[in-house]
A and B are shown apart, each in its own frame.
Chain A
Amino acid sequence: MSGNVVRGVPPHAGSTAYINARIVDPTANSEYRGAILISDGKIADFGPTLFASGAPYGIESVDCRDLYLAPGIVDTRVHTGEPGEEHKETLESAGVAAAVGGITSLVLLPDTEPPFDDASLIEFVARRARQVKLANMYAFGALTAGLEGKELAEIGLLAEAGAVGFTDADRAVGNAQVLRRALYYAKAFDALIVHLPQEPTLSGGHMSSGVMATRLGLAGNPPLAEVMMVERDIRLVEMTGGRLHLAKISTAESVKVIAAAKERGLKITCDTAAPYFALNDLAVGDYRTFGKLVPPLRSEADREAIVEGLKSGVIDAIVSDHRPQDQDSKRVPFAQAEPGGIGLETLLPVSLELVHNGHLSLPQLFQRLSSTPARLFNLPGGKLAKGAPADLVLFDANYAWKIDRADLWSKTKNSPFDERPVQGKVVATIVGGRAIYRDDDFTSAAAAA
């Protein structure tokens, strides 16, 4: 993959028209040929009739040549190594990978060193994002002090400093009393709590339980360790009326239980990450540590249920769950390997499989990737609306290529999707009206035209 990431450009002033595009509008659940006019970094106008009679005169215009133009991806689950493990990923390198991946807003997890359990770190992220000048960067605050699951973090102060949600990242809160109080307390600030449901006493293994784990001789995590925590959390929401979002749903049983809770009218939402609808536990065959994730990759039946959950809307959103790990963390025996996979650059092509396989329409996919996460986290992007930030992704939905980790822009290369053939490629990423990424082929074609 080759292209240009453009940094340090001042906020876009003036107007640009993106014409001859196939526009994907998730909020209106529609898809049509049309144009988008950007003025001063915001969407000034859009629609099927805009500039229908030809390119506008006197303002800069970009011919999209029938490629898709959609609201940029809002990825609400991203680990970086800044601060603390900058050798794995910095906010700058994550910003570059996000730009290449069509991600215009990302929410950073708080499990850094030190963790984001202090307001000054939330301010640090905002300051660094302004320096990096790529995607919009937001941060979670820690839910509990030191992410230890014992005492509440300063939720109010963190929210005031700009934290958009609260979570202990990949650590589940095992103590029900702690999560109950957090849900109650967060109501005072209308704060969203994001929780990874995995019963900690049953999740000490290294892959999902089953015949594969038995063959490989690896300790397993039973899939039921997830649903029993989902069930507990649902009762806590019922008890407290708090806003809870469950992260990285990976099992068929969880989907069922969440569907039933939603039917009962509880305000509970959830997401899944790309590996859980695209891969199963065969991906860890021969001890492939790039397939070691939290929660572990599950069975094929679970994977199919996650696809169904996305289709029915029981699963509200898709995240990348980008988690960089260097070679020293992965080139060790499986049980000793650190979990996690990178995902910013592969999120769109892998998610497009849901469209190519007929499970979702493009507007539905961008509900899961852009508009719904933006709404849940109260972020300004993720939608087409007059006055909304001009955060957009231009992509070719059909371009066929093979993911090669050596070509990825992330600082570490631990992609569980390495060598996967995919269809779909980001051509340009636009944040606040300025193109922060442009594919070389598109740039040269545009210049020739």
Chain B
Amino acid sequence: MLGIEGLSPETISGLLDLSESYIDQNRSIDKRRDLLTGRTVINLFFENSTRTRTSFEVAAKRLGADVINMDVATSSVRKGETLLDTAMTLNAMRPDAIVVRHSESGAVNLLSQKVNCTVINAGDGQHEHPTQALLDALTIRRRRGRLEGLQVAICGDIMHSRVARSNIHLLLIMGARVRVVGPPTLMPTDIDKMGVEVHYNMKTGLKDVDIVMMLRLQTERMQGSFVPSISEYYRFFGLDREKLKVAKPDSLIMHPGPMNRGVEIDSEVADDLDRSVIHEQVEMGVAVRMACLDALIGGRRNAMGAAA
């Protein structure tokens, strides 16, 4: 599973339905099933991400798989071993799935060409982060009952965000309308040609939207290179109660985490129990990743169909 782009609405719905079934399991006392007993899942993270890695690890373990975490930032890749050497080495150990996070766009596609097990993209550079988009969709669908016809604003650093790209693909495939909101320096070229509406200010961008998705702004990009300063960014693009006024009164607030409080989001809205679903997103993350592992290596191929 390399990306959302190219998936059919049926495949996505199927995965979301399957995820639903794992939510109750995760909330019960006995969280473990033995669907993946005997299967090996390797978490191969070339870039640190405690949250995503933990989420995949919990998901795999709850299905009974053996999980190996490879923190590549401290291993042989530092000694000059190439990405493909690492892939071939792991492949020889016959895992059933490799979950990969890498800082370069396309690195996961490249790796997947050289191994003969299932590869799940846990985020590659600025390209895609498919399970994040699925968990966001699951969160929205449970709160709103549907995705079709909803007006969604994705705000902040669109240019460098794989989360934005995967969400744009998924939401458009499922019939939602998508706006991207942020400073022009953080908008990728021709983003409008992907079928989204582009806004440079929060007032028009958030007007009457159902969903507000905030994105994380990397620290190194806030000091003069893409935006002049943190305080200027917060003033014009940080989500606070005031800017949120133009959105629908019951609009949901989402963030893939980890949040920079006081940069892209104000604590008051982030912690708003009625509208912020940020912790729910984390919960859905485990369910969605269980569904992906189930569909891809659980022996049930129907949910993913040809895309598997």
**Chain A: residues with CB nearer than 8 A to chain B?**
209-211, 213-220, 222, 286-287, 328, 331-336
Residue from the list A209, A211, A287, A331 in contact with B105, Cβ < 8 A: A287
Which 10 interchain pairs have the tightest Cβ spacing? A287-B106, A217-B126, A217-B127, A333-B104, A217-B105, A333-B107, A214-B188, A211-B190, A211-B193, A209-B189
CA–CA, A411 and B193, complex, Å: 41
Is B216 among interface residues, defined by CB-CB distance under 8 A?
no
Residues of chain B contacted by A328 (CB below 8 angstroms): 82
With A215-B194, A332-B82 as contacts: A220 and B189 at CB distance below 8 Å: yes
- In the assembled complex, how far is the CB of residue B270 from the closest CB belonging to chain A, in whole angstroms? 27
CA–CA, A216 and B194, complex, Å: 12
- In the assembled complex, how far is the CB of residue B241 from the closest CB belonging to chain A, in whole angstroms? 32
CA–CA, A217 and B165, complex, Å: 8
Question: How many interface contacts (CB-CB < 8 Å) are there between A and B?
Answer: 72
Identify which of A214, A215, A220, A333 gathers the most chain B CB atoms within 10 Å of its CB: A333
With A214-B190, A217-B126 as contacts: A332 and B105 at CB distance below 8 Å: no
Nearest-neighbor residue (CB-CB) of A209 within chain B: B189
- In the assembled complex, how far is the CB of residue B206 from the closest CB belonging to chain A, in whole angstroms? 23
Q: Are B189 and A216 in contact, with the CB atoms below 8 A?
A: no
- In the assembled complex, how far is the CB of residue B202 from the closest CB belonging to chain A, in whole angstroms? 22
With A215-B5, A217-B125, A222-B189 as contacts: A335 and B84 at CB distance below 8 Å: no
**Chain B: residues with CB nearer than 8 A to chain A?**
5, 82-84, 102, 104-107, 109-110, 124-128, 162, 165, 188-191, 193-194
Residues of chain A contacted by B5 (CB below 8 angstroms): 215
Q: Are B190 and A218 in contact, with the CB atoms below 8 A?
A: no
Q: Are B194 and A211 in contact, with the CB atoms below 8 A?
A: yes
Residues of chain A contacted by B107 (CB below 8 angstroms): 333
Q: Are A286 and B165 in contact, with the CB atoms below 8 A?
A: no
- In the assembled complex, how far is the CB of residue B59 from the closest CB belonging to chain A, in whole angstroms? 25
Nearest-neighbor residue (CB-CB) of A284 within chain B: B106
Q: Are B105 and A214 in contact, with the CB atoms below 8 A?
A: no
Q: Are B84 and A331 in contact, with the CB atoms below 8 A?
A: yes
Residue from the list A211, A218, A220 in contact with B106, Cβ < 8 A: A218
CA–CA, A265 and B162, complex, Å: 50
Residues of chain A contacted by B109 (CB below 8 angstroms): 286-287
- In the assembled complex, how far is the CB of residue B225 from the closest CB belonging to chain A, in whole angstroms? 12
CA–CA, A222 and B105, complex, Å: 19
Nearest-neighbor residue (CB-CB) of B189 within chain A: A209
Residues of chain A contacted by B82 (CB below 8 angstroms): 328, 331-332
With A217-B126, A217-B128 as contacts: A335 and B105 at CB distance below 8 Å: yes
Q: Are B165 and A215 in contact, with the CB atoms below 8 A?
A: yes
- In the assembled complex, how far is the CB of residue B6 from the closest CB belonging to chain A, in whole angstroms? 11
Residues of chain A contacted by B188 (CB below 8 angstroms): 213-214, 220
Residues of chain B contacted by A336 (CB below 8 angstroms): 104
CA–CA, A216 and B102, complex, Å: 14
Q: Are B104 and A335 in contact, with the CB atoms below 8 A?
A: yes
- In the assembled complex, how far is the CB of residue B91 from the closest CB belonging to chain A, in whole angstroms? 15
CA–CA, A334 and B104, complex, Å: 8
Q: Are A335 and B125 in contact, with the CB atoms below 8 A?
A: yes
CA–CA, A214 and B107, complex, Å: 16
CA–CA, A218 and B193, complex, Å: 16
CA–CA, A325 and B5, complex, Å: 31
Nearest-neighbor residue (CB-CB) of A205 within chain B: B189
With A328-B82, A333-B106, A333-B110 as contacts: A213 and B189 at CB distance below 8 Å: yes
Nearest-neighbor residue (CB-CB) of B126 within chain A: A217
Q: Are B128 and A332 in contact, with the CB atoms below 8 A?
A: no
Residues of chain A contacted by B106 (CB below 8 angstroms): 216-218, 286-287, 333-335
- In the assembled complex, how far is the CB of residue A336 from the closest CB belonging to chain B, in whole angstroms? 6
Q: List 19 A-B contacts (CB under 8 A).
A: A211-B190, A211-B191, A211-B193, A214-B191, A214-B194, A215-B5, A215-B194, A216-B106, A217-B124, A217-B128, A218-B105, A218-B127, A286-B109, A287-B105, A331-B82, A332-B84, A333-B83, A333-B125, A336-B104
Extra 7 A-B pairs, beta carbons < 8 Å, given A211-B190, A213-B189, A214-B165: A211-B193, A211-B194, A214-B190, A218-B126, A287-B105, A287-B110, A334-B105
